[in-house]
């Protein structure tokens, strides 16, 4: 184990894997792969911006560790989560000689992780993959848990698979090249973990120094690892708690047009709406709801729905969400920060009112 790194194990039956977290550990990806016995050719999937920043560094490190590595670059952004881009990556892998003896490495944010993981799940009927997330959003959430997906016009993440990574390597130094907007959107997921599991995460996260940020990332990963290990495929309902703010958030993201709002920005709005419903139906104190709104606002995350996004457009997409079962609304609420539960008592009218509540200015 790297002396400066921390490890969290996702304890799945028969296929546990580690999330290794530390500063400046990108160049250790090769040794970490060898430690796992993954001495395979590596197909690195990334986007143009991340390739410029870290492509040569990672390929050089893999080559130095004795790996054969190829690079597969896509245009970044949420629109990349499409059948067209998945096909493009598969064709690129095939042209490079990638086969069942290879592995895919996702280098980038949540979009690349979802896309590359999905491709790995279907290429050659499924090959291993590794996550190397480079954004706050991906490091605290999307790189862990094995959900891979692409989008449809009808809704977000409607085509995908459960395909767990063999390893996740979180180098927090990669966050230094994020713009403010990209960095802030990741804090939406940290706030989610604070609401559903650990209220201490809601304290002092805005200007967290690097050592504390590593600890925050580790804590979020620990929470997700425990939930995923208990309910990998959302069969018991426990994993559904990770969807706090996501039912309405995903619908807003889709209604806005993919790429108009960053994922965390849409989830910020979704959490305000979920908090509003929680005050009405779960007993969440109104002062806690206001605290949530102001924390999101302080992190430069949107809390008021843009006028051009219609309630009808959001509602149309809400009911294509995967979190519905045979049309039954299953909505995550919180009665107090640090816990959450799935309610089946929320109606369509309630959801519509929650979306409308997002048009109210904050005090």
For helices 286-298 and 180-196, the axis angle rounded to 10 degrees is: 160
Which structure tokens are listed for 337? 């920060």
CA-CA distance, 267 to 252, in Å (whole number)?
8
Helix axes 311-318, 246-256, angle to 10 degrees: 120
Q: pLDDT for 102-158, tens place per residue?
A: 999 999 999 999 999 999 999 999 999 999 999 999 999 999 999 999 999 988 999
Asked whether residue 68 is assigned to any structural domain, the reply reads yes
Whether residues 229 and 332 fall in one domain: yes
- For residue 48, the model assigns a pLDDT of 98
CATH number of the domain to which 306 belongs:
1.20.1090.10
What angle is formed at CA 142 by the lines to CA 344 and CA 40, rounded to 5 degrees? Answer: 135
Show the tokens assigned to 87: 């096909």
**Residue indicated by tokens 């609420």:** 333
Please tell me the distance from the alpha carbon of residue 181 to that of residue 161, in angstroms, as a whole number: 29
Which of the pair, 231 or 322, is modelled with greater confidence?
231
Would you say residue 3 has pLDDT above 60? Answer: no
Distance separating alpha carbons of residues 220 and 140, to the nearest angstrom: 6
In a domain? residue 1: no
More confident: 77 or 212 = 77
The catalytic residue among 250, 272, 289, 317 is: 250
- Residue 154: the pLDDT is 87
User: Is 263 labeled as catalytic in the residue annotation?
Assistant: yes
239 in catalytic set: yes
Decide if 326 is inside a domain: yes
Confidence label for 208 from pLDDT (cuts 50, 70 and 90): low
- What pLDDT, in 10s, does the model give residues 250-302? 999 999 999 999 999 999 999 999 999 999 999 999 999 999 999 999 999 99
- Catalytic-residue membership of 224: yes
pLDDT class of 211 with cuts at 50, 70, 90: low
For residue 310, the model assigns a pLDDT of 98
- Which pLDDT score is estimated for 329? 86
State residue 171's pLDDT score: 98
Residue 342 and residue 198 in one domain: yes
Closest by Cα among 168, 175, 169 to 146 = 168
221-225, 322-326, 335-339, 354-358: lowest mean pLDDT where?
322-326
| From 51, 78, 185, 189, active-site residue | 189
Are 10 and 225 in contact by the 8 Å Cβ rule? The answer is yes
Kindly state whether residues 151 and 280 are assigned to the same domain: no
Burial annotation 70-95 (CB, 10 A radius, 16+ → b, else e)? bbbbbebebebbbeebbebbbebbee
CATH of the domain at 154: 3.40.50.1970
Among residues 144, 178, 212, the one where a domain terminates is: 178
Same domain membership, residue 109 and residue 13: yes
**Same domain, yes or no, for 328 and 280?**
yes
Q: Is-catalytic flag, 87?
A: no
* Coil, helix or strand at residue 291: helix
Q: What is the pLDDT of residue 249?
A: 97
- CB of 61 closer than 8 Å to CB of 29: yes
List the catalytic residue out of 81, 147, 163, 289: 147
Residue 363 lies in a domain: no
pLDDT of residue 212: 82
Catalytic site includes residue 125: yes
Cα dihedral sign for 167, 190, 272, 302?
A: negative
Specify if 362 maps to a domain: no
Q: Which residue among the candidates 234, 253, 265, 272 is catalytic per the annotation?
A: 234
Please count the residues of the chain: 363
Domain boundary among 119, 149, 178: 178
Please state which of the ranges 3-17, 195-209, 230-244 shows the lowest mean pLDDT: 195-209
Q: Of 163, 219, 263, 272, which is the active-site residue?
A: 263
234 is catalytic: yes
Domain that holds residue 232: 187-357
Q: Which residue among 151, 157, 184, 243 is the active-site one?
A: 243
- Residues 303, 352 within the same domain: yes
Residue 213 has a pLDDT of: 87
247 contact partners, CB below 8 Å, separation of at least 6: 270, 274, 318, 321, 323, 331, 332, 351
CB atoms under 10 Å from CB of 16, counted, come to 12
How far apart (Å, rounded) are the C-alpha atoms in residues 58 and 73? 14
Task: Give the three-state DSSP class for 206.
Answer: coil
User: In total, how many domains does the chain have?
Assistant: 2
Question: Is residue 82 in a domain?
Answer: yes
Helix (H) or strand (E) holding 61: helix 56-64
Give per-residue pLDDT as tens, 151-192. Answer: 999 889 999 999 999 999 999 999 999 999 999 999 999 999
**135 plus 255 within the same structural domain:** no
Q: 28 and 169 in one domain?
A: yes
Among 178, 209, 226, which residue terminates a domain?
178
| Active site annotation includes 203 | no
For residues 11 and 135, state if they share a domain.
yes
Give catalytic status of residue 359 as yes or no.
no
Please give the helix or strand (H or E) that residue 62 lies within, else none: helix 56-64
Containing 251, the helix (H) or strand (E) segment is helix 246-256
C-alpha span between 199 and 216 (Å, rounded): 12
Q: Is 100 a catalytic residue?
A: no
156 flagged as catalytic: no
Question: Residue 310: inside a domain, yes or no?
Answer: yes
Residue of 40, 183, 239, 289 marked active site = 239
Terminal-residue alpha carbon distance, the chain: 49
Q: What is the mean pLDDT of the chain?
A: 94
Question: Which pLDDT value is given to residue 21?
Answer: 98
pLDDT, tens digit, for every residue of 287-343? 999 999 999 999 999 999 999 999 999 999 998 765 665 667 899 999 999 999 999
- Give dist(CA 150, CA 113) in Å, integer: 11
Whether residues 206 and 279 share a domain: the answer is yes
Conformational region of residue 73, where left means phi above 0, alpha means psi within -120 to 50, and beta covers everything else? beta
Same domain assignment for residues 154 and 196: no
Q: Note the pLDDT of residue 204.
A: 65
Asked if residue 256 belongs to a domain, the reply is yes
Q: What is the pLDDT of residues 31-85, one digit of tens each?
A: 999 999 999 999 999 999 999 999 999 999 999 999 999 999 999 999 999 999 9
Q: Is the pLDDT of residue 245 over 90?
A: yes
Q: Do 17 and 158 belong to one domain?
A: yes
């Amino acid at each position: 184990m790297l002396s400066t790194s921390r490890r969290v194990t996702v304890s799945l039956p028969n296929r546990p894997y580690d999330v290794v977290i530390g500063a400046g550990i990108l160049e250790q990806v090769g040794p970490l792969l060898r430690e796992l016995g993954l001495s395979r050719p590596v197909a690195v999937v990334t986007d143009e911006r991340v390739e410029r920043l870290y492509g040569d560094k990672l390929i050089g490190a893999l080559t130095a560790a004795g790996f054969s590595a190829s690079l597969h670059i896509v245009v970044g952004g949420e629109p990349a989560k499409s059948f067209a881009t998945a096909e493009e990556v598969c064709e690129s892998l095939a042209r490079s000689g990638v086969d069942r003896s290879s592995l895919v490495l996702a280098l980038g944010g949540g979009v690349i992780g979802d896309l590359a993981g999905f491709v790995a799940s279907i290429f050659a009927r499924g090959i291993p993959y590794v996550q190397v997330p480079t954004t706050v959003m991906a490091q605290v959430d999307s790189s862990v848990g094995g959900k891979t997906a692409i989008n449809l016009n009808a809704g977000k993440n409607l085509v995908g698979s459960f395909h767990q990574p063999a390893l996740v390597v979180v180098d927090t130094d990669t966050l230094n090249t994020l713009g403010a907007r990209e960095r802030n959107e990741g804090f939406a997921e940290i706030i989610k973990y604070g609401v559903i599991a650990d209220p201490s995460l809601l304290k002092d996260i805005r200007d967290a120094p690097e050592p504390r940020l590593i600890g925050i990332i580790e804590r979020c990963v620990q929470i997700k690892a425990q939930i995923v290990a208990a309910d990998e495929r959302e069969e018991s309902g426990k994993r559904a708690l990770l969807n706090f703010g996501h039912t309405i958030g995903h619908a807003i993201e889709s209604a806005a047009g993919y790429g108009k709002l960053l994922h965390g920005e849409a989830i910020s709005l979704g959490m305000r709406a979920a908090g509003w419903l929680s005050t009405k139906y779960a007993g969440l104190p109104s002062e806690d709801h206001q605290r949530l709104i102001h924390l999101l606002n302080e992190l430069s995350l949107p809390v008021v729905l843009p006028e051009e996004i219609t309630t009808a457009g959001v509602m149309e997409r809400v009911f294509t969400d995967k979190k519905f079962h045979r049309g039954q609304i299953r909505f995550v609420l919180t009665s107090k920060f640090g816990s959450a539960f799935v309610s089946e008592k929320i109606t369509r009218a309630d959801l519509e009112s929650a979306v409308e509540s997002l048009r109210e200015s904050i005090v």
